[in-house]
Amino acid sequence: MSRPAILFPLFAALETLPGIGAKTARHFAQLGIERPRDLLFTLPYAGVDRRRKKSIRDVKAPATVTVEVEIGAHLPARRKGGPARIFVRDAETEFQLVFFHAKAEYLQKQLPTGQRRIVSGKLEIFDGIAQIVHPDHILHPGEAEGLPEFEPVYPLTAGVTQKLMAKAVQGALARVPRLDDWLDPALKARENWPDWSVAVHAAHCPQSMDHLAAEAPARQRLAYDELFAHQLTLALARASIRRGKGRASLASGELQAKVLAALPYDPTDAQRRAMTEIAADMAGDKRMSRLLQGDVGSGKTLVAFMALLIAVEAGGQGVMMAPTEVLARQHLDSLKPLAETAGVVLELLTGRDKGGERGAKLAALARGDIHILVGTHAVFQKDVHFHDLRLAVVDEQHRFGVAQRMELGAKGQGADVLVMTATPIPRSLSLAQYGDMDISVLDEKPAGRLPVKTALVSAGRYGEVVAHLKTAIADGRQAYWVCPLVEESEAVDLTAAEDRFKALRAIFGEGVVGLVHGQLPPAEKDAAMAEFAAGRSKVLVATTVIEVGVNVPNATIMVIERAEIFGLAQLHQLRGRVGRGSAASTCLLMYQPPLAPAAERRLAILRETEDGFRIADEDLAMRGAGDLIGTAQSGLPRFRIADLERQSALMAVAQSDARKLLADDPALASPKGEAARVLLWLMERDRAIRLISVG
């Protein structure tokens, strides 16, 4: 399949546009503009009102003004490079035009005394005198039509001026073809959106500030197109995963019943709902591709284990994969008692398994003697064969993109896939990132969980914090102490974990304080974690490596030093490490005064709520989508026009439209389907085009 000919002019080299040579093209590339198509999707971010005024008299400076003047005397610069001044008069008053480094004969030619010109530029008052320094435009009265009343302002880079950009955009606009519409006619009519080609022209030729707003119909339409292309790509990936022959795994319910009967508590309504959704997916003959999204401590592990039991009840096997060995071992510890209750064989496979022991495990797995395997990505190695893999569960999804999800599904011929994440993601972002999956949300905390008391403490009260720890340790409790960085760097006055560890060890004694940070060899890190989990060490000094998943119910205090430099989601994750047992827990956010307003707002939100979804929404509002997930590793696309924070509702519409289009027309062969293919090419979604179902 190749790009449709109608789009060729938009994908030609930039040098084919008037006024752009090889050198200029290199400057444009700095802005991510390499073809005429990229210019079309680089929209102006501001505008300048250049409507003609009779006089500057009523204009409040500083402001851009366009006015017809009669040119008076020239006052040359007194010293080299100094200002040359030209007196001019409009219909009501006099002012000056000022030029630096300009030759007198050039100015006389441009602005001959006694003649009339239209000048447009920024009017300022300097020493009580109204002046325009270096006007943007100087035109003969007859040429005024060439000046737009409202001039768009584009993002620029070194070597690209507004004039050059405007000229290049006009060149690209001249190539805009008329395309058949991929929009649903009802949506188009309801939103009053223009055709695509009309929308592109309108977005680049705004008539007022209103036309630059994200809500302007032309811009909304273009943002929707971008989101629709993205959701169509995800929907095609989803269809391709589900097209892989699924297998119906029917639950008998007997293993699940044993586990539920042995639990000391009742599952929450949210857990029951998620279990039902997953069981229904697994019973169907299409492959499941589902995201289980739940806040810290909402009980995802139980839901995932119930799903694994369905695989076993159906006569197959399940695998649960964690990003680190520490987490894999923790899953093993928490699932072992449940597995024993159900009479199910559960084993661990990590990179540490070597030689004969590893060989024996692999043989048992291939025979089907191991029902559920827990492991790190070691479970993906070539020599790992399952007897009958029915379900793969992946923990902490944000380290996995769509490509890995598809790879994972390939391991078990038709295995269902369940992904768990403890990072609450605002709906708009979860649709952007996981639009290829169905989503189950756990939005309740299990009964008996006490809220974590969160307090702000200034760094000056360090002594009080240490005294508080002493009391807690005497009562048999444990505490985390999180430090921001590993090594002291002169530039940043952050207490290094090493120094804090030494200081606390001097107070509490040898063996009571442990240390974990990213630079430690894995074996030492695991050993320190194990000491703390077993209750032998009482205080664990750590960097943010403990953010994900460590589970020590006896730890009831979380001290976060320099809390003001952490992001909201990170603080929320760290706080989630305590409050896992039956005892009341505390989180102390230590900060260095004075607090910047944004930091103050972050800490205040944490103090007010433990609802991860509300925190995620606030985080999105404060930081923006790219930062929230760290665009590099997020699998989150970069949109040129759409704004995920402000246009989240459009994302949901785009998702349902994309799924409906594929359900009605899987091969995209109808006229609307053909139009959607052109959109995919236009948006450079070449991978998606390869996924379009053939037959």
Q: pLDDT at residue 549 above 60?
A: no
User: Rg of the Cα trace of the chain?
Assistant: 32
Mark residue 509 as left, alpha or beta (left: phi above 0; alpha: psi -120 to 50; beta: remaining).
left
Distance (Å, whole) CA 386 – CA 217: 54
Calpha distance 531→326 (Å, rounded): 13
Weakest mean pLDDT among 182-191, 314-323, 466-475, 647-656? 647-656
Nearest to 679 by CA among 172, 173, 4, 1: 4
What pLDDT band is residue 637 in, cutting at 50, 70 and 90? low
Per cent of the chain over pLDDT 90 is 37
Beta bridge mates, 318? 372, 391
Q: What is the mean pLDDT of residues 18-35?
A: 89
2: phi then psi, degrees, rounded to nearest 5? -125, 165
Average pLDDT for 1-25? 89
At 178, the pLDDT band (50, 70, 90 cuts) reads: very high
Residue with tokens 């047992």: 581
Report d(CA 185, CA 668) in Å as an integer.
17
pLDDT tens digits, 99-117: 988 888 888 888 899 989 9
Question: pLDDT band for position 194 (50/70/90)?
Answer: very high
| E runs forming strands in 494-599 | 513-516, 539-542, 555-560, 585-591
- Asked if the model's pLDDT at residue 127 lies above 80, the reply is yes
Q: Tell me, what amino acid is at 44?
A: P
Q: Which two tokens stand for residue 448?
A: 């008996």
Q: Which domains does the chain have, with CATH numbers?
A: 5-46+167-211 (no CATH), 51-147 (2.40.50.140), 254-442 (3.40.50.300), 452-609 (3.40.50.300)
Residue partners of 398: CB distance under 8 A and separation at least 6: 421, 423, 433, 629, 633, 634, 635
Per 3-state DSSP, what percentage of the chain is helix, strand, and coil (rounded to 5)?
45, 20, 35
User: Dihedral, CA atoms, 398, 400, 402, 408, nearest 10 degrees?
Assistant: -140
**In a 10 Å sphere around its CB, with 0-12 CB exposed, 13-18 middle and 19+ buried, how is residue 58 labelled?**
exposed
Closest by CA position to 218, among listed 234, 203, 197: 203
Work out the pLDDT band at 680, boundaries 50, 70, 90.
Answer: very high
Q: What is the pLDDT of residues 437-452, one digit of tens each?
A: 788 888 777 766 778 8
What pLDDT, in 10s, does the model give residues 337-396?
Answer: 999 999 999 999 988 888 899 999 999 999 999 999 999 877 877 788 899 999 999 886
Whose tokens are 């943010």? That residue is: 544
What are the tokens at 597? Answer: 């307003």
pLDDT at 634: 40
Share of the chain above pLDDT 70, in %: 88
* Cis bond before residue 594 (omega within 30° of 0): yes
Contact by Cβ (8 Å): 450, 670: no
In single-letter form, the type of residue at position 556 comes to T
Mean pLDDT of 57-62: 83
**How many C-beta atoms surround the C-beta of residue 632 within 10 A?**
8
Cα–Cα distances (Å) from 487 to 290, 355, 498, in that order, read: 41, 38, 7
Confidence of residue 244 (pLDDT cuts 50, 70, 90): low
Question: Which pLDDT does position 491 carry in this prediction?
Answer: 44
Neighbouring C-alpha atoms within 13 Å toward the C-beta of 289: 28
Given a cut of 70, whether residue 573 has pLDDT beyond it is yes
Mind giving me the DSSP string for 55-86? Answer: -STT--SSEEEEEEEEEEEEE--SSTT-EEEE
Its pTM stands at 0.64
Beta bridge partners of 218: none
Polymer length of the chain: 695
pLDDT at 633 over 60: no
CB 293 within 8 A of CB 442: yes
Dist. CA 688–CA 680, nearest whole Å: 7
CA distance 375 to 418: 15
CA distance 225 to 639: 11
Surface-to-core class of residue 254, CB atoms within 10 Å of its CB (0-12 exposed, 13-18 middle, 19+ buried): exposed
Query: In the prediction, which pLDDT does 682 show?
Result: 93
Dump the DSSP string for 428-497: HHHHHHHTTSEEEEE-SPPTTPPPEEEEEEEGGGHHHHHHHHHHHHHTT-EEEEE-SBSS-BTTB---BH
pLDDT for 411:
59
Roughly how many angstroms between the first and final C-alpha of the chain, as a whole number? 15
Does the pLDDT at position 671 exceed 90? yes
How far CA 61 is from CA of 127, 136, 281, in Å, comes to 13, 16, 65
Distance CA 77, CA 84 (A): 4
Q: Which helix (H) or strand (E) holds 132?
A: strand 129-133
**How far is residue 7 from each of residues 223, 232, 465, measured CA to CA in Å?**
19, 19, 65
- The pLDDT of residue 645: 67
179, burial (CB in 10 Å: exposed 0-12, middle 13-18, buried 19+): middle
- The C-alpha atoms of residue 261 and residue 354 are separated, in whole angstroms, by 38
Mean pLDDT of 612-616: 75
Q: Determine the pLDDT at residue 422.
A: 74
Residue type, 55: S
Pinpoint the alpha helices (H) of 343-380: 355-367
Judge contact between 440 and 293, C-beta under 8 A: yes
Q: How far apart are CA 545 and CA 573, in angstroms?
A: 11
> What confidence tier does 316 reach under pLDDT thresholds 50, 70, 90?
very high
Cβ burial, residue 598 (10 Å; 0-12/13-18/19+): exposed
Is 50 exceeded by the pLDDT of residue 626? Answer: no
Cβ contact 9:36 at 8 Å = yes
DSSP 230-247: HHHHHHHHHHHHHHSPP-
Which amino acid appears at position 172 of this protein?
A: A
